[in-house]
Amino acid sequence: MKNMTINEFANSVASNDPVPGGGSVAAVCGTLSAALSEMVANLTIGKKKYAEYENEMTDIKEKALALKNKLIEYIEKDSIAYNKVMEAYKLPKENDYEKDIRKQAIEDSSKLAATVPFEVAVTSYEILPLAEAVVKRGNSNAITDGLVAAMLARTAVLSAILNVRINLSSIDDKEFVNKYREKSDELEANTCAYEKKILENSPF
Q: Is the pLDDT of residue 203 over 90?
A: no
Q: How much is the pTM?
A: 0.94
C-alpha distances (whole Å) from 100 to each of 94, 107, 119, 176 are 11, 11, 29, 20
Q: What is the structure's pLDDT at 3?
A: 86
For the chain, the maximum distance between any two Cα atoms, rounded to a whole number of angstroms, is 73
Q: What is the structure's pLDDT at 204?
A: 86
| Answer CATH for 19-200 from 1.20.120.680, 1.10.645.10, 3.40.50.970, 3.40.309.10 | 1.20.120.680
Q: Is the pLDDT of residue 95 over 90?
A: yes
- What residue segments make up the domains of the chain, in order of their start? 19-200
Give me the helices (H) in the chain, please.
Answer: 6-14, 22-44, 54-89, 96-125, 128-137, 143-168, 174-200
The size of the chain, in residues, is 204
Q: What is the structure's pLDDT at 40?
A: 98
Tell me the mean pLDDT in the region 88-105: 96
Helix axes 143-168, 96-125, angle to 10 degrees: 160
